[in-house]
Every structure is written in C-alpha cells, then in structure tokens.
C-alpha cells in the first residue's frame, strides 16, 4: 500500500504541480472545534531528523493528501547570473519542438528571472536538457522554483484565478486516475515534480495549462491582495455533507478532512478516486465557502 498520508497541504492544488503542484485530502480545520486531527499513519524514518521545535513553534497538523500548485513563503533570493548562451540555445531548440510550453516559459522568465536561470541550469545538468523529455523536466523544475519563491501569494488571488488553478489540478488528477493510480497519489500528495516528467511529456497541453495557472494565481494574488476570513464550521459541515452525498464512506471523509487513517488502509485506486471526488466537491460549493476553503488550502501548503 503506497503511503498517501504525506504533507500538510490541500490536495486540491497540485501544480501544484506542476502545479505540483489540488487535491483530495487535507486537514482543512486542524484547530476547529469538532474537527481535531487524529493520528495519521506512521511516516518512514528519515536519514537526519530535523531539530524539534519548541511547542510554541510547532507546525500545524498536516492534511494527508495534497496537490501543490503553488506553495511556501516568499523568499528573497540573490539574482543568478544570466544562463550561458549554449543553455539558451539548447532550450530554444527544445521549445521549437514543444510550443505548448511557450506561454508558461515566457511568463516564468519575466516574473522569476533568477529562478528561471537556476531551473535551466538544473535541467541541463548531465546533459538532461538535450534528452527527449528535457523540456518537461525544465517545466517541472521551473514550477517548483516559482512555488518556493512566492506560492503563498496565490492565496490572495481573485476567484477566477483560484478557480482556474484548482480546475487545472482536477483535470490532471482525473487523467492520472484513469491510467496510473500510484502516480495519481504521488501527484495528490505533492510528490516531486520530476516524478511526473514522463507523464508530462505525453500530456503537454494539460500540464502547460496547470503550470501557467499557478503563475497566474501568484500574479493575480500580488495585485488583488484579497484578505479572506478563515473557513467557518458551517463551511466544513457543508463540505462533509456534499462528500457524503457523493458516496464517500465515513472513513474516507475522516481521512480527507481530519487526516484520520482508517483501520483498514484504503487501496490506492480508491484513494485516488476519493481525491478526485474531493476536488470536484470543492469546485461545486457556493463561491464564498469555496474561496475560503481554497485560500486556507494554499496557506496550509505554504507553511509546509
């Protein structure tokens, strides 16, 4: 059974993925009365455990499933020198073969020049940019760089930008659910974008739309700067009722909303379908509740 309980983010984002980072399972209300997060499945040991933080600085509980379109706190980075001419030439050659990515790459270079330069260098390592999927790797790395730099800003975007972001994540999740439940869960859990490189190579228009939606949400959030109230208990009750109406079991809903792992693990294919149903349900909520939940999801992802 693949571990689908990974991080603190709302699955609904994903582009997160590539916009890697939107998803199916998240603890949206870790501190709301009546929705306290339950213990999740144990995580695998890591080579070096990070130093424990004082209780006052402890991070919020993490939701189980998540898609990362845009995530994390804005960080001031030193500008990188311009890429070498041979890298630009190799990239230009690949772009002529994959025009679907042009809109994303143009926006990335304009909005995040330092991050673009580093992504280009990383993709070119070991001659990776010259491989058939090199342009897909570059797109994935560029998306990750944008998330790290300014992902949190997307929580302040207007409704059209957030709706498009989540719709693009749902489209990717549906495509993955139809053919690869394991990769679908990786996507919903916010796995490294590189794991989606081969999928992206065969679904370039889909992935380009998702990646561009992430950048547009960041840009829109910077302009709109909307300060939304957190979701209410009524918002969560409405979401839970809608999930039950969609046929999800009590265990599935507890996992999606509270991070409570069931006694019997949910198979990957069903967990993937639950994640898709979760995104569909969020998208059909009335706008005020939907925007509050979307914004919360982005904020949780940004704190991870």
Output the CA–CA distances (angstroms, integers) from residue 37 to 50, 56, 157, 242, in the order listed: 22, 18, 28, 20
Q: Find the range with the poorest average confidence among 136-140, 163-167, 243-247.
A: 136-140
Whole-number Å distance between alpha carbons of 275 and 23: 6
* Most confident residue range from 40-49, 81-90, 127-136, 247-256: 247-256
Residues near 66 by Cβ (< 8 Å), separated by ≥ 6?
6, 7, 8, 9, 10, 11, 13, 14, 23, 25, 26, 188, 189, 190, 301
Whole-number Å distance between alpha carbons of 70 and 22: 10
pLDDT value, residue 208? 95
Query: Which two structure tokens, joined as six digits, stand for 153?
Result: 């800003």
Instruction: Please give the span between the terminal C-alpha atoms of the chain, in angstroms, as a whole number.
Output: 24
Q: Find the range with the poorest average confidence among 3-7, 31-35, 121-125.
A: 3-7
Angle at 12 between CA 24 and CA 26, to 5 degrees: 55
Tell whether the model's pLDDT for residue 45 goes beyond 80.
Answer: no
pLDDT value, residue 26? 36
Mean pLDDT of 21-43: 41
* Most confident residue range from 4-13, 24-33, 34-43, 204-213: 204-213
Whole-number Å distance between alpha carbons of 280 and 286: 13
Residues near 232 by Cβ (< 8 Å), separated by ≥ 6?
289, 292
Selection from 256, 275, 59, 239 nearest residue 166 by Cα: 275
pLDDT value, residue 96? 86
Query: Which two structure tokens, joined as six digits, stand for 18?
Result: 């590539």
pLDDT value, residue 302? 61
E strand residue ranges, the chain: none
Residues near 166 by Cβ (< 8 Å), separated by ≥ 6?
12, 13, 22, 279, 282, 283, 294
More confident residue, 47 or 23: 47
Helix axes 159-179, 204-224, angle to 10 degrees: 160
Report the run of H or E that residue 151 belongs to, with start and end.
none
pLDDT value, residue 192? 61
51-98 confidence digits (pLDDT tens) = 544 444 444 444 444 444 443 444 454 555 455 677 888 888 888 888
Cα 12 to its chain centre, rounded Å, is 7
213-241 confidence digits (pLDDT tens) = 999 999 999 999 999 999 999 999 999 99
Query: Which two structure tokens, joined as six digits, stand for 232?
Result: 């209410």
Radius of gyration, CA atoms only, the chain: 19
Judging by beta carbons within 10 Å of its beta carbon (0-12, 13-18, 19+), is residue 31 exposed, middle or buried? exposed
């Amino acid at each position: 059974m693949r571990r689908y309980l990974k991080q603190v983010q709302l699955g609904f984002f994903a582009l997160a993925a590539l916009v890697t980072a939107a998803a199916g399972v998240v603890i949206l209300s870790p501190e709301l009365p009546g929705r306290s997060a339950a213990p999740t499945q144990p995580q695998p040991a890591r080579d070096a455990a990070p130093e424990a933080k004082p209780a006052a600085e402890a991070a919020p509980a993490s939701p189980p499933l998540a898609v990362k379109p845009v995530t994390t706190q804005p960080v001031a980075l030193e500008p990188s020198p311009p890429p070498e001419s041979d890298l630009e030439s190799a990239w230009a050659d690949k772009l002529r073969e994959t025009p679907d990515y042009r809109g994303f790459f143009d926006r990335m270079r304009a909005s995040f020049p330092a991050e673009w330069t580093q992504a280009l260098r990383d993709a070119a390592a070991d001659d990776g940019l010259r491989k058939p999927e090199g342009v897909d790797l570059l797109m994935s790395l560029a998306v990750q760089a944008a998330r790290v730099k300014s992902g949190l800003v997307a929580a302040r975007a207007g409704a059209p930008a957030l709706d498009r972001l989540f719709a693009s994540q749902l489209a990717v999740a549906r495509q993955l659910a139809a053919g690869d439940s394991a990769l679908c869960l990786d996507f919903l859990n916010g796995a490294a974008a590189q794991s989606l490189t081969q999928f992206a190579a065969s679904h370039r228009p889909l992935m380009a739309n998702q990646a561009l939606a992430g950048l547009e949400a960041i840009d829109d959030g910077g302009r709109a700067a909307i300060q939304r109230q957190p979701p209410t208990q009524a918002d969560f009750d409405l979401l839970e009722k809608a999930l039950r109406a969609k046929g999800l079991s009590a265990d599935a809903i507890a996992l999606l909303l509270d991070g409570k792992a069931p006694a019997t693990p949910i198979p990957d294919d069903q967990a993937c379908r639950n994640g898709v149903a979760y995104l569909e349900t969020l998208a059909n909520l009335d706008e005020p509740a939907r925007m509050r939940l979307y914004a919360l999801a982005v904020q949780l992802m940004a704190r991870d």
